[in-house]
Amino acid sequence: MINSARSQAEPVESQVKIYSRSEHNISRAQISENALKVLYKLQKEGYKAYLVGGCVRDLLLGREPKDFDVVTDADPEQIRKVFRNCRLIGRRFRLAHVHFGREVIEVATFRGAAETQNDKQVLNNEGRLLRDNVYGTIEEDVWRRDFTVNALYYNIKDFSVVDYVDGMADHKSATLRLIGDPETRFREDPVRMLRAVRFAVKLGFRLHPDCEKSMHQVAELLSSIPSARLYDEALKLFLSGYALQTFEMLRHYGLFQVLFPATENCLSMEENGFPRLLLIRALDNSDIRIADGKTVTAYFLFAAFLWEPVQVRAKEKMAHGLVEFMAYQEAANEVISMQVKSTALPRHITMAMREVWSLQSKFDARVGSKPSRLLIHPRFRAAYDFLLLRAETGGADLELAKWWGKYQEANENEQRKMTQPPRKAQGSKPGRKRSYRGKVKDSASGNDGV
Ligand code: ATP
Ligand code: MG
């Protein structure tokens, strides 16, 4: 199979541009030692070995790559023989993972070009669609990649950058351009539209006008992608430190509505700007946390994305006579079951989202032993952050949020004082409880037990 793919592709020498070591800024000092070990070892064994993809793109920008991907002309079995610390993964396309403690260097064999994958593969694979599992040459591999800036190869042999698609020029002008006809490439794999947004935001690159135009045309196709893959992509989109800009750009291209249809629905008919404000604040906070080196959790963001749809539904149900508790529980169930059709959500995520939502109403109790019990709830911190988010964006009582801020900081003695029932029911803070309750109902936070 390997030989047949190889023999079909003649090197397109005329198209290739080679940037020698002095013509680019990638130095070996920026490359992970383990990635270098892999490259050198492959070379020593007589194989070609390159870094490719995001790492080359990021190195050229002087950024630290997320990971280092290696491509070679060795096939997976040959790769396995070269490295002891190696495992083959993937069924459709076999890849090698070379393990160095916690760092994993992914080593792939050059992929064959789509055009040269013909009946032979179908026969070979007994009807199973394994057309990806065809190895090829670097000249074929390059055309399977998405953007020109993702198709630059760093050659360990002479430290040059090999460029078949004018990726260097695009890189210099900070342009994301699809290799080949944009519409065809988006149709082939609509996830490339999400990747376009992710890279544009992360790198500060602009989309090539042709690419942009096609995206407007075929955005809808994203809905054909399995929900599990869209969930993975959503995590990459929103947990990488540029969530707010990503959100705006996804909406601009009509992609957000495919990922979060119920949310988009609420946003397009929002009142007072509340849903948008809450979401924007949540996304912004999470970007700030990432910039500060703190962790962010997927469930918190998903809880924020879907909070408004849950509230809208719950209110409708209450208007039809359902009690608040049931209304919120049903609304949460329905919103989650709809959402998983777009982005599959793992069970631990939906459980955590429900908890964050249901704990919102528990904050109302500020007297007696309830506050101290709430404080030790494993989801207290997230639920409190969510309350703060709502309070800051007009969806909950700011005074209540402040009280909880103070309560959790206080020592035991102070906490006891804070939760003591008022001595005289009438004398202390008259009317307060009643007016507060009214407010909570308006903001529909009473989702006890959702
Ligand atoms: P990141 O910094 O997020 O890792 P990346 O460009 O390395 O960015 P990966 O998903 O790790 O992205 O993919 C590695 C490379 O594989 C890409 O640079 C690209 O060349 C190719 N690739 C990945 N996904 C696709 C796709 N859907 N279509 C075409 N090529 C792809
Ligand atoms: Mg990568």
DSSP states of 92-137: SS-EEEEEETTEEEEEEEPBPPGGG--HHHHHHTTT---TT--B--
Q: Is the CB of 69 under 6 A from ligand 1?
A: yes
Can you give the CATH number for the domain in which 297 is found? Answer: 1.10.3090.10
Model pLDDT, residue 270: 67
Mutating to test ligand 1, I would choose from 150, 235, 238 the residue with most ligand atoms within 8 A of its C-beta, which is 150
Q: Is the CB of 150 under 6 A from ligand 1?
A: yes
Q: Which residues does the annotation mark as catalytic?
A: 67, 69, 146
Q: Look at ligand 1, atom 12, and give the residue with the nearest C-alpha.
A: 54
Return the sign of the alpha-carbon dihedral for residues 38, 44, 48, 50.
positive
* Encoded tokens for 301: 């963001």
> What dihedral angle (degrees, nearest 10) is formed by the CA atoms of 265, 266, 267, 273?
160
Which of 173, 196, 214 is where one domain is finished?
Answer: 173
pTM, whole model, 2 decimals?
A: 0.86
Among 195, 230, 199, 193, CA closest to 212:
193
The residues whose Cβ lies within 5 A of ligand 2, an ion, are 54
14 CA to centre of ligand 1 in angstroms: 26
Q: Look at ligand 1, atom 11, and give the residue with the nearest C-alpha.
A: 54
Mutating to test ligand 1, I would choose from 55, 71, 145, 192 the residue with most ligand atoms within 8 A of its C-beta, which is 145
383 CA to centre of ligand 1 in angstroms: 35
Domain that holds residue 334: 261-442
Q: Are 366 and 255 within 8 A, CB to CB? A: no
* Encoded tokens for 327: 């209304």
DSSP states of 129-195: --TT--B--HHHHGGGSSBGGG-EEEETTTTEEEESSSHHHHHHTTEE-BSS-HHHHHHH-THHHHH
Q: Are residues 417 and 278 in the same domain?
A: yes
Structural domain includes residue 56? yes
**SS3 call for 86:** strand
Which of 138, 173, 208 is where one domain is finished?
Answer: 173
**SS3 call for 334:** helix
Q: Look at ligand 1, atom 3, and give the residue with the nearest C-alpha.
A: 54
Which of 143, 173, 203 is where one domain is finished?
Answer: 173
Q: Are residues 270 and 158 in the same domain?
A: no
CA distance linking residue 319 with residue 327, whole number of Å: 10
pLDDT tens by residue, 84-141: 999 999 877 789 999 999 999 999 999 986 544 443 444 334 333 345 558 899 999 9
Q: Look at ligand 1, atom 6, and give the residue with the nearest C-alpha.
A: 54
Q: DSSP letter at 255?
A: -
Q: Are residues 22 and 168 in the same domain?
A: yes
Q: Which atom of ligand 1 is nearest to the CA of 236?
A: 3
Structural domain includes residue 54? yes
Q: Do the strands 160-163 and 152-155 form a parallel or antiparallel pair, or are they unpaired?
A: antiparallel
Q: How far is CA 258 from CA 191, 294, 312, 342, in A?
A: 11, 29, 20, 7
Model pLDDT, residue 91: 78
Can you give the CATH number for the domain in which 31 is found? Answer: 3.30.460.10
Q: Are residues 291 and 165 in the same domain?
A: no
Model pLDDT, residue 7: 35
Structural domain includes residue 447? no
212-116-225 Cα angle (round to 5):
40
Q: Treating both helix axes as pointing N-terminal to C-terminal, what angle do 298-319 and 261-268 enclose, rounded to 10 degrees?
A: 60
CA distance linking residue 83 with residue 93, whole number of Å: 19
pLDDT tens by residue, 279-321: 999 999 999 999 999 999 999 999 999 999 999 999 999 999 9
Model pLDDT, residue 50: 98
316 CA to centre of ligand 1 in angstroms: 44
Among the bound ligands, the one closest to the CA of 53: 1
Q: Are residues 7 and 118 in the same domain?
A: yes
Burial class (CB in 10 A: 0-12, 13-18, 19+), 206: middle
Q: Look at ligand 1, atom 22, and give the residue with the nearest C-alpha.
A: 145
Q: Are residues 151 and 278 in the same domain?
A: no
Q: Are residues 153 and 266 in the same domain?
A: no
Q: Look at ligand 1, atom 14, and give the residue with the nearest C-alpha.
A: 53
Which distant-in-sequence residues (6+ apart) come within 8 Å of 36 by Cβ? 28, 156
Q: Average pLDDT by consecutive 10-residue portion of the chain (450 residues)? A: 36 77 96 98 98 98 95 95 94 89 96 57 39 79 96 98 97 97 94 98 97 95 96 97 97 97 89 78 96 95 96 95 92 97 97 95 88 91 96 93 94 90 61 42 38
Structural domain includes residue 116? yes
Structural domain includes residue 220? no
145 CA to centre of ligand 1 in angstroms: 7
Q: Which atom of ligand 1 is nearest to the CA of 195?
A: 27
Q: Is the CB of 151 under 6 A from ligand 1?
A: yes
Q: DSSP letter at 253?
A: T
447 CA to centre of ligand 2 in angstroms: 41
Q: Are residues 12 and 146 in the same domain?
A: yes
Among 175, 160, 165, CA closest to 145:
165
Please report how many Cα atoms fall inside a 13 Å half-sphere around the Cα of residue 79, on the Cβ side: 28
Q: Is the CB of 66 under 6 A from ligand 1?
A: yes
Structural domain includes residue 375? yes
Q: Are 119 and 129 within 8 A, CB to CB? A: no
Count of structural domains, the chain: 2
345 CA to centre of ligand 2 in angstroms: 23
